[in-house]
Structure 1
């Protein structure tokens, strides 16, 4: 980030600035020549090159700047908010509030500024009714404009954050969302002593579909699997696509028997569905699932590793299958009511 411009020591007058030039500036229009004559020796000039900063958000400011020539850019979190043109002022909000600058201001191009220190600013405001009224009008407009820009910026940021946490193809949450959210889900269930199950699901022989029919056909399979997942999970359940053909299913407030029933219902729905692409039928698509239940000592990485191990067992057992701890022994049975 470019350094804040350090101003030169104040001079006895602002060289190159005449009453005629000041009279043309929007913020000083209507101010009498006598006041402008007295302003010239009180004010001074500051010149910025393109890209140099005038104000930095969060840093103190006790000056008001009037743009004599050039253009300033107002930024919030590196996002442009507005531009300040010739004759307009900047810095008055922080000076009036006695607070730090609320945004960063930098030169869009080579810019010349008239600098009013705090004492000069208040002298001008008391001496010129026109300057004071114009300042109030500009402040009201700027506050309104800044508020609209901030709200738009917040909305855009939320959209970007939403996009960053979602898989663009299926619309499911992605791995980043899972990494951020699963620890909170686990802690909530542990705190409430409620059951929680996680399933790792993988589309069987997905690479063969891509190799034989192309990646567009593979995307069509992913979309159709996604629709079947949505149709067969409860509204309270979560699904995240965490790899090419790999998904994580989260079953909140669900013990192992209920999760087994949910996983098997989904597996059977996918195995029984007809898949197609571009008007032609595709081979049967099946999925394998590895299902585990939350334990008191588990953390997200351990839970996902156990689910991945169960998924591997399902693949090794022939695919199109759901595996869970104790399936072939004294483990939980299916719950037909889930």
Structure 2
């Protein structure tokens, strides 16, 4: 085995970049809430971008490493430590056998991601490692990780002990990711108008664009319920259920809003007044209950430009991390 769960966290699940292509069977795409952080965690340790990671909520787990391992932690800041020594996020770290990873305090963010070099030795369900808790499938037997679970790693040929200094619990490798532009202005979330946006009353359009909305404590991986001034349509409409996606903003009958997240249903019948732009989904995923959201109208050309730029940066990061890792281990 490669590591074991000494103490489980609030919700620790295996995730990847999603189970796409199964919506026709009513299966949610799922996957990491913050796909950017999950992908970067894999790239930092030389994995394929689609490899499985552990999505961790606060309070986080305590994990015992049973072999020398290269890891990366990205996303939220839960003050990660190895044997009570602080380790960096967004940077690869070699940890020594028989050390314990812990997340003692919440600084900021909603969820973080743990990757290991080579990935976890798991079986895919519908071509994805992601945990579907409702279907009890995928991930680690379709369940959140619990005390005593022992997760095996895929085999690798790197001798990580050679990268550790004598008596040190871990060694930080000298390359990292600058995420300043990704999570800048965390409460400002860009959107494109949805199909029913034009049906909002003028007062509701103004309220949607100018007011802040608070994330309700009952929000989860399926959707963020937003609390704010009630919105309304000019006239009632009867809608046929239609496709929805991660980031769709729906208007509920009580005038409140819900933003669909990673575990969203595949179709919905509520008015779709907006869609969060893909480049801002990582920011949205890192917000917590009681945080506020302010929606900012964007145009399609800018949204596409931001997404293409993000993908180019990730491609460069992948090549750079592989070059650094090859230099280090050779």
Please confirm whether the aligned pair reaches a TM-score higher than 0.5, indicating the same fold: no
Shorter-chain TM-score category? Answer: under 0.3
Q: Quick check: which has more Rg, 1 or 2?
A: 1
The normalised TM-score by structure 2 is 0.20
Name the one with the larger helix percent. 1
The normalised TM-score by structure 1 is 0.20
